[in-house]
Structure 1
Amino acid sequence: MNYFTLPLEDWTNNFVYDWLIPVMGGFFDSVSSIISFFINGVADLFLMIPAEVIAILLILLAWKLAGKGIAIFTLIGTLYLGSVNLWEDAMLTLAVVVVATVFSIIIGLPLGILTAKYAVLDKIVRPILDFMQTLPSFVYLIPAILLFGLGEVPAVISTFVFATPPAVRMTTLAIKQVPEDMVEAARAFGSTSWQMLVKVQLPVAIPTIMAGVNQTIMLALSMAVIASMIGAPGLGSTVLAGISSVNVGLGLVGGLGIVVLAIILDRITQGLGNKNKK
């Protein structure tokens, strides 16, 4: 059924190599410098703080927000990361996840609020989110490498693209699910749009928004191994080294490290959402 030829590959390459990189190269270099500054700052902070202090803080957070069982698991998990010499890699992975998640929240939450309030914007943003979620991650690794080089910066960019849609979607859903009678009561008392958002809609919507943040963190962590293919440091590089050398033990060690980190972050953020709900 080849009725006509669509030179999409040529169009894309011409756009990227003939215009985007020559014209916008300086802009992407500036963005790369800013992101690299944040990543290095967060990573240096995590590595500067003694491992025992971070472990204790995580255990206390888990106990406070998720219960005694998760606190015990956090204790065992942090001991595991230290016993297999993966603590530094875990902190580097956590730095990438934190920076990517912060960017996703900064952009995703306001965008989700706007799409909940404006139906036209929702119709525009929804197919873009579908594209971001369904496009294979390896596809947008290519432009990330071209525009930002190798290392942690393209890893954060690709993780941001992959992990932002849940934050937007869940925020939109949370705002739309606020009971109409509460909105009408606030409007009857003369609340402005800003007051209604801050004092009525967001407090009610926080548990669902936190569920979106939780999913964003989980998706960011799931990119750890893929991001290691473009030079991202951390636990993913350990798994990649195990794959490259067909070292099952090394792959298992790194994979369990990612699982431990994922469960700790998942339970803590879930506990935070449940606390806000109560």
Structure 2
Amino acid sequence: FVHGAMCYSYSGACFMSSLLGGRSGNRGRCAGTCRLPYTTAGKKGNFLSMKDMNTLDSLEEILKAGAYSLKIEGRMKSELYTATVVSVYRKYLDLALKGESYTVSDQDRQLLKAVYDRGGETSYLYQHNAKDMIALADRPFRKEEEELTAFLRKSMEERVRKLPLSMELRVESGAVLELSLEQEDIRIRVFGEQPVEKAKLRATAREEMEKQLLKLGNSCFYPKALRITGEEEVFIPLSALNALRREGCERVREAILAKFRRNPRNREFNGIR
């Protein structure tokens, strides 16, 4: 766990929520009673509200320790929070994975504070108990800067991540179309249904073929390279090219997803089955 709200209770076994709020935090229904302000000895404060976890400065050490799965809290948070926090961590995690030293910019710290500020952040990695772990001030848990958050929302809505895709179309009269697609280490070949015919009246121009194959539209790919080889004086229905492109893109997408699917029948953790 690298970022987000921390629980005050020991080992997460909290009975405060169920006793005061009627909802059990041990059953995933925490009422957040520790986040409320309380009064003691004439003083009012958020005496049980812990500051959020933030480990941006420690990603290199976390990776060296052997962690390979990092969790960012997102339960009951907004899309704005999730998109901003994940993107900031992605930025520095990529640097850490490359072995590059980095310093977290003040701008990125301000971005995290803008989307959620419970009263400060700390890492909890280098201390057991300390007064500065608690957000003592009686203040709202969240205070957004309208101008900055408006910018973040706009950039989030316009953000589209696409993967580079290389394609090669092989055209031979009397044979079916062959489209080869490559995305990093994934290589897929798809074939047309009908043999290509010699052109009788008008041949399908190379420009027309390219135009159809480059129509990646709402797919998760953008064209990195396209090559068309083989005969030129042939006729190819544009619908056949469209169908070939769609099938190829879908096959590549499935192959990418397959690399991340877990096999529950063949689980292994640290070499132990």
Report the TM-score range of the alignment, normalised by the length of the smaller protein: under 0.3
Q: Which has the larger radius of gyration?
A: 2
Q: Give the number of the structure whose residues are more often strand, by fraction.
A: 2
Give the alignment's TM-score, normalised by structure 2: 0.23
Q: Give the number of the structure whose residues are more often helix, by fraction.
A: 1
Give the alignment's TM-score, normalised by structure 1: 0.23
Relative CO higher for 1 or 2, CA cutoff 8 Å, sep ≥ 6?
1
